[in-house]
Amino acid sequence: MRSATMLMAHLPPPPELYVVGAGPGDPELLTLKAYRILQTADVVLYDNLANQELLALAPTACECIYVGKKPYGEYTPQEVIHELIREKALAKGRVVRLKGGDPFIFGRGFEEMLFARSHGIAAHYVPGISSMQAVGFEDIPLTHRVVSEGFWVLTGTKKDGSLSADLRVAMQSNSTVVIYMGMKKLPQIAATYVQEGRGATLAAVVMHASLPQRKVVRGRIEELPALVAAAGITYPAIIFIGDVVGLG
């Protein structure tokens, strides 16, 4: 009986992956479930957009590894992240993949879960407050009765580097258009609105939403590239287009 107990004590913990949303930046916007999971992590693989203050929630013995991807700059290849997930989960147990915003909205969280499961590693999803929701701190609601009937959420740059064709469809609706990863394409986005006779549509760009260093510009979409350049806004930032921008 004693030898069986000793054997169990030396067995490695079961490998598992938690893909966790870190929220839009403010550490107080972390969910309670994410808070609890971080406190039990053996390894944390954290993103460029995850607030590093959250790493203090992990146990002292927890290994924290940066695997960030900066837009158009240095990045950790996805294959390396996959290998770290496999290696660390099998060796140490509970791996937390901490990603900014919500990991299922223009993140690769689901890909990482599928990879883990293909290697016999249990994988779980913990939602986060999406970065686009933090625009509410600027008195810009994503929807508002009569003014906006809904919202479209698009990526500014597709996998092949082109602008999403869905933009022309979205701009015809009475809904707010939200564009992630669109800063490099902002002049092209503005030109598309002008071509469709919608250059006067109100728009805003929010950088570092929910954080003290945030920057915001508002104006007509046709003038937005110049406003953004004057304000020194770069990445990470989200573009919001529609009448809701003028409500506040």
Predicted pLDDT of residue 13: 87
C-beta of residue 23 within 8 angstroms of C-beta of residue 30: yes
- Give me the long-range contacts of 165-172 (CB less than 8 A, separation at least 24): 167/192, 168/192, 168/196, 171/196, 171/198, 171/201, 171/241, 172/196
Predicted pLDDT of residue 157: 78
**Residue 197 structure tokens:** 């006779």
Instruction: Choose the catalytic residue: 26, 33, 69, 215.
Output: 69
C-beta of residue 70 within 8 angstroms of C-beta of residue 49: no
**Residue 33 among the catalytic residues:** no
Q: Which of 176, 190, 192, 201 is nearest to 224 (CA)?
A: 190
Predicted pLDDT of residue 75: 81
Predicted pLDDT of residue 49: 92
pLDDT in tens, the chain (248 residues): 555 555 555 677 899 999 999 999 999 999 999 999 999 999 999 999 999 999 999 999 999 999 997 765 678 999 999 999 999 999 999 999 999 999 999 989 999 999 999 999 999 999 999 999 999 999 999 999 989 999 999 998 777 777 888 999 999 999 999 999 999 999 999 999 999 999 999 999 999 999 999 999 999 999 999 999 999 999 889 999 999 999 98
**Residue 47 among the catalytic residues:** yes
Amino acid in the structure at residue 111: E
C-beta of residue 69 within 8 angstroms of C-beta of residue 48: yes
